[in-house]
Amino acid sequence: MAGGGRIRNGSYRTGRDRSVMRCFLIAVVALATTAPAVAAIYDLPPDGQDVVGAVATVTASYEDTLVDIARRHGLGYQDIVRANPGVNVWVPGEGTEVVLPSRFVLPPGPRTGLVLNLAEYRMYYFPQAKAGETPKVHTYPMSIGRMDWETPLGRTRIVAMARHPSWYPPQSVRDEHAADGDPLPRVVPAGPDNPLGTRAMRLGIPGYLIHGTNRPAGVGMRVSHGCIRMFPEDVEFLFDRIAVNAAVRIIDVPVKIGWDGEALVAEVHPLLEVPQRLPEETEEHLQTLDADVQQPEVESLSKDPLTHVTEQFIAATAERAGMLDWDVVEALVGRADGIPGVVGEGIKNAATSAAFE
């Protein structure tokens, strides 16, 4: 055999073979740590259980930004920034431990179709399982509408789907761009300058889409003109697994509470009606994230977050009694970092529950 090496049942390789294999393994590891993730997919918990995933940590490299790390692990901008207070978004530093908030309380309501939780900047897809298959849930980060272009709530469906769509900007968007000295054409063809990216799914709500983007660094923020933006790899993955007429439910639930075994778990996000200013170091990178990013004015709370806690607790314990530790709840609400925490437990006697007093 050329090269002087013999191969017998794969048990012997030449030095060159071993060197090639080492290089191949290094390349695979490098690809695995730098390529964007495509969908977080979990087995759907049984009825009465509501938590999937796990919080993890990774070590930042010299070249990393938090935005890079987030995309590699299926997270958006707000996900990674809120979970890592005090870490510089653009220069986290080599060796810095970065928290990945990849544990989720499933949104309330039916586990069917697409559920878009605006307060969470995240969508959940519950595909119909085939006979004999374990039901799954997919989850993806997303961008939502700015304060002046809010994404509407309610139930709708996907009514049309397109690969490599052209963009026909509405007159209101063209007027806004013209006022900023950046006029838009009537039609933006498919390609790198098209903000819809490579895939678009039209909703039954007139004028609203779920689509990709040509500015993926801004995914997970409040930047769009009301539409839902996804990472390019995510929208392409979802596009191939969903169909016209799929149900879509758009909700605004900043506090989710559910069961994980006998524990009550809460996941808390800031209220959407309270604009969240970006970290100071991000102001210098707004155009890198997305041309539509704006720094909002901070306003006072219009609704007590604990009201949301009470509403979700009542819903979670409608058929199964539980008790909250309100000190833990208040601490979790104070952080509002999107990382789920145990806030209570099930009880056998509903009369002893603080919620029933």
Q: Which residues are catalytic?
A: 211, 227
For residues 291 and 218, what is the distance between their CA atoms, to the nearest angstrom?
9
d(Cα 339, Cα 81) in Å, to the nearest integer?
12
H-helix or E-strand spanning residue 67: helix 66-72
> Which 3 state secondary structure label does DSSP give 190?
coil
In the three-class reduction of DSSP (H, G, I as helix; E, B as strand; rest coil), residue 141 is classed as strand
* Residue 228 contacts residue 211 (beta carbons within 8 Å): yes
Query: Helix count (H) and strand count (E) of the chain?
Result: 8, 19
Residue listed under structure tokens 């993955």: 237
Dihedral of alpha carbons 214, 220, 223, 224, sign: positive
| Separation CA 86–CA 92 (nearest Å) | 9
Residue 70 in contact with residue 220, Cβ under 8 Å? yes
CB 281, CB 90: distance < 8 Å: yes
Q: Are strands 247-251 and 154-163 parallel, antiparallel or unpaired?
A: antiparallel
What sign has the CA pseudo-torsion 200, 206, 207, 213?
Answer: negative
Output the six-digit token pair for 142: 């997303």
Token pair recorded at residue 335: 């952080």
Question: Which of 131, 190, 184 minimizes the C-alpha distance to 165?
Answer: 190
**In the block, which residue shows the tokens 């720094």?**
295
Query: What is the C-alpha separation between 123 and 141, in angstroms, rounded?
Result: 6
Q: State residue 260 phi and psi, 5-degree precision.
A: -130, 95
Structure tokens at 140: 């993806």
HSE, CB side, 13 Å, CA atoms: give it for residue 98. 29
